[in-house]
Amino acid sequence: MRLICLGLVFATTAAGQLPDRAFEQAVQPVLAKHCAGCHQDRLASGGFNATPYMKAASLSQRDDWERIVQRLRTGEMPPKGAPAPTAAEAQSLIRFVEGEFAKADKLVKPDPGRVTARRLNRAEYSNTIRDLLGVDFRADRDFPSDDSGHGFDNIGDVLTISPILMEKYLTAAERIAARAIGADPLPQKPLEFEYHAKDKTIRRPNRSSIEATHRVEWEAEYIVRLGLPGERAAGAAPVKLGFWMDGKLLTTKMVETKPSGLVYFNPYSAEELRVALPEGDHTFRAGFIDDEFVKGLSEKDAYSDKRNKFLNSMTFVGPFAAKGERPSRKKLLICDPNLPGCTTRILTSIARRAYRRPVTRAEVASLERFVTLAKADGQSAEQGIQLALQAMLVSPHFLFRIERDPAPGVVHPVTDLDLASRLSYFLWSSMPDEELLALAEAKQLRPKLDAQIQRMLKDDKAVALADNFAGQWLETRNLDQVKPDPKKFPEWSPDLRDAMKTETRLFFQHLLRENRPLTEFLDANYTFLNDRLAAHYGVPGVEGPEFRQVTFSTPERGGILSHASVLTVSSYPTRTSPVIRGKYVLQNILGTPPPPPPPDVPALDEASVGNAGSLRQQMEKHRSSPVCASCHSRMDVLGFGLENYDGTGKWRTRDGKFDIDASGTLPGGKTFQSPAELRTLLKDNAPEFSRCLTEKMLTYALGRGLERYDRKTIEEINQRVIGSGYRFESLVREIVHSLPFLERRGESPKNLPAKTESASR
């Protein structure tokens, strides 16, 4: 993401002119000597004519000057082969222009911008339902995908409500309320649903497990019956059987696998597990954990009942009433609904938290009418509360985060209640908890803001920042959609994909919770691995499915650019892509994305890759056109620096028949020979990386795209983060304390200029 450049007139002298002498000394000689030859009236290379910028008055074109400074700083210009300015000449121009930028910024009135009323996106909806009602609801499975803007799916301007989504909200509200209150009776006779290998209704992720998708109609307890044909050799050890729902392990049980010794024994057994299951569509998996026996079997023997005991069916029987009161009911029904005044207490308590603010008597009275209607229809008070809860869940006060302005066009601090929601949805992707909401109601949140930031970052709910911010910034959410070619990458599996996602999530969480330097994103010599991912990386000594911190003993791995998650989402299904990986680094690490490719770019000869030449050789031939080379000179070299990692992030030294060449020379002249040396060069650009991360996290925190008036805020935050030693918590704290996070500009009436009043600055 590039910040939208300011189009401001620079600071002037008393006579209204820029300091011509300083301009003539610092800027004109560099432009005349190193730019004018290619960028002039007759030959405007790259569509840029430098002639108008040879005069001091031209500094009013800030967007173009920012591009000039950026290309000089990175060494992109002048191009390779052309005489380059000395380091002193380049720095003199950069200092002069940035000094004029700083003077102009001082004349700009602070503007926090304004955020459109924001609908809860799918992640926020799911987390809010969880924290409000104690109900797990997968909005990502039930609701349409959220639109994205500026790289994130929590941008207010694009979070619209379609008729289909409104219909989904109505259906979800009914289901969620029924699960939370549980006032509806269960069927008197249990139902039975079987999934079996013979009718191909189960999937086999690997030899030790089976998987099925099943819709649970009632939140209740169920018996899950697992069919296990076959037997193993005498003396075979028992094995641990696990049962998972949506990737979460629910229960385990030890299972015998050796022959029983009976003469007429049928080598088939069924194991039963009793588990509490939530309503909805879920993916269930049953499998043996740490099953060493199956690793030594051929594919044929793995499913032979004379050589192995394996899983082949999954049956659900139920529902059965759960023992004891469900947690959601205990959380919501704070008194007996049949007692006088209790219904009012219950609805006031739920609505206050659902709307994330105190509720009025009129609002509670409108909700109580649903209870009255239910009773008139012969239903219980609990069923009436369930109906009122449905109404809350489709209310705009629940579905939207609405911030109100005291007056049109006025810049003002957001209320403590709005600030509490801004903070909780930034760090938790969820509603404020009781402590945060109580502080906001007492108007004591601002004095205790730093303490709340620290508390919230240590809470388990802060994993949402890794899932929703980092998952979109680093694009690792896309792992659910990528499908590497099984012939090219036979090791690819759901287990490996999940391990990749977990590694990057745990790494991000570690840096945040331990307040590590942001630079460790680029060069940390450690990560988090389990046995599956460690084997993929070739790291010895890691056993078991649990993830643990592992320090690398070789320079092959380090930082997020060696994470398999990042390397997989930046590859094609059949091979790596230096172009995609190079663009990834420019866009997500350095904050300088390349322009879109021109039309009619010829396709790469895929059949020749790895056969007639390495991918690098094919790419160099492919971009021999000057039109292609102008954009690829900086992009491809970064991608080639990652060529030692294949399309799923596995280390390699050869591309087909050819040795990997991961060396490169950046436009500024700096060279590297390996991914480790590339990481070192990227770390040298730590201020640019910090600025890039600041822009992305500020966009995510505000829920809007950045504007020209946000530039000053970004520079101030970045300088403070650099001054803190690039500490991660410092970045979060500075964003929360920034002008656009703490304040907002009221909507201006048509043709009425915005006013500014004294605020908490």
Instruction: Give the helix ranges, DSSP H, for 79-223.
Output: 87-106, 122-133, 139-142, 163-181
Nearest to 630 by CA among 655, 658, 595, 680: 595
Q: Is there a single domain that holds both residue 231 and residue 100?
A: no
Give yes or no: residues 517 and 627 share one domain: yes
The predicted-structure confidence for 647-668, as pLDDT tens digits, reads as follows: 999 999 998 888 999 998 887 7
The alpha carbon of residue 667 and the mean position of all alpha carbons in its chain are separated, in whole angstroms, by 31
- Examine the domain organization and report whether 232 and 98 are in the same domain: no
Q: What is the mean pLDDT of the chain?
A: 86
* pLDDT surpasses 70 at 266: no
- What's residue 687's pLDDT? 94
Indicate the pTM of the whole model: 0.83
Q: What is the CATH number of the domain that holds 292?
A: 2.60.120.260
Contact status, residue 206 vs residue 494, Cβ threshold 8 Å? no
Percent of the residues in the chain that have a pLDDT greater than 70, as a whole number: 86
Query: Tokens in use for 173?
Result: 């509200």
Query: How many other C-beta atoms can be found within 10 angstroms of the C-beta atom of residue 722?
Result: 15
For residue 714, tell me if it sits in a domain: no
The terminus-to-terminus CA distance of the chain in angstroms comes to 28
Asked if pLDDT for residue 5 goes beyond 50, the answer is no
Q: 206-237 pLDDT, tens per residue?
A: 888 999 999 998 888 999 999 999 888 888 88
Q: In what order do the strands lie in the sheet with 280-289?
A: 203-206, 209-216, 280-289, 239-245, 248-255
Whole-number pLDDT of residue 306: 85
- Tell me, yes or no, whether 86 and 197 share the same domain: no
pLDDT in tens, 380-397: 999 999 999 999 999 999
Alpha carbon distances (Å) from 199 to 202, 203, 313, 664: 8, 11, 10, 55
Total domains in the fold of the chain: 3
43: number of CA atoms within 13 Å, CB side? 4
The residue assigned the tokens 């240590």 is: 458
Read off φ and ψ for residue 312, nearest 5 degrees.
-140, 0
Is 650 contained in some domain? yes
The pLDDT value given to residue 18: 47
Mean pLDDT confidence for 737-744 = 97
Helix (H, G, I), strand (E, B) or coil at 284: strand
Minimum mean pLDDT range among 554-563, 619-628, 654-663: 619-628
Asked if residue 4 is part of any domain, the answer here is no
> In angstroms, rounded to a whole number, what is the distance separating the alpha carbons of residues 65 and 7?
10
The answer to whether residue 675 sits within a structural domain is: yes
For residue 693, pLDDT beyond 90: yes
pLDDT exceeds 60 at position 568: yes
Domain membership of residue 491 (yes or no) is: yes
Domain assignment present for residue 7? The answer is no
pLDDT of residue 14: 34
With respect to residue 460, please indicate whether it lies within any of the assigned structural domains.
Answer: no
Q: What is the pLDDT, as a whole number, of residue 13?
A: 36
Q: Which of 659, 682, 705 is the last residue of a domain?
A: 682
Q: At what angle do helices 381-393 and 342-354 cross, to 10 degrees?
A: 20
Same domain, 69 and 204: no
Is there a single domain that holds both residue 74 and residue 205? no
Q: Which H or E element spans position 567?
A: helix 564-569
Task: Indicate if 67 and 216 belong to the same structural domain.
Answer: no
Q: What is the Rg, in whole angstroms, of the alpha carbon atoms belonging to the chain?
A: 30
Model pLDDT, residue 156: 94
Interatomic CA distance for residues 34 and 84, integer angstroms:
7
The C-alpha atoms of residue 100 and residue 22 are separated, in whole angstroms, by: 11
What pLDDT does residue 355 have?
98
Domain assignment present for residue 658? The answer is yes
Whether residues 211 and 71 fall in one domain:
no
Please give the Cα distance from 44 to 424 (Å, whole number): 50
Residue 12 has pLDDT above 90, yes or no: no
pLDDT of residue 458: 95
Residue 759 has pLDDT above 50, yes or no: no
At residue 424's C-alpha, the angle toward residues 419 and 430, to 5°, is: 135
The residue range of the domain holding 528 is 466-582+591-682
Strands of the sheet containing 220-229, edge to edge, are 191-196, 313-320, 220-229, 268-277
Euclidean distance between CA atoms 742 and 761, whole angstroms: 10
Helix or strand (DSSP H, E) at 713? helix 711-723
- pLDDT computed for residue 571 by the predictor: 96
Q: Which residue has the tokens 């929601």?
A: 421
pLDDT of residue 750: 55
pLDDT at 761: 32
29-71 pLDDT, tens digit each: 888 777 766 776 676 566 667 777 777 655 567 777 877 777 7
- 641 and 524 within one domain: yes
Q: Does position 114 have pLDDT exceeding 50, yes or no?
A: yes
Domain boundary among 106, 125, 160: 106
Same domain, yes or no: 544 and 675: yes
- Whole-number Cα distances in Å, 356 to 335, 396, 426: 22, 12, 15
Instruction: Give yes or no for residue 261 having a pLDDT over 60.
Output: no
Q: Check pLDDT > 70 for residue 80.
A: no
**Element of type H or E holding 283:** strand 280-289
Residue 728 has pLDDT above 50, yes or no: yes
Q: Which of 26, 5, 153, 131 is nearest to 85 (CA)?
A: 26
| DSSP 3-state of 191 | strand
Instruction: Give mean pLDDT, residues 164-189.
Output: 91
> Which has more confidence, 667 or 200?
200
Same domain membership, residue 659 and residue 557: yes
The answer to whether residue 186 scores a pLDDT higher than 60 is yes
93 and 233 fall within a common domain: no
401 vs 280, residue with greater confidence = 401
Predicted local confidence at residue 601, as pLDDT:
58
Task: Read off the pLDDT of residues 347-376 as tens digits, 9 standing for 90 and up.
Answer: 999 999 999 999 999 999 999 999 999 999
Which one of 106, 131, 163 terminates a domain?
106
Question: Taking residues 573-587, what's their average pLDDT?
Answer: 93
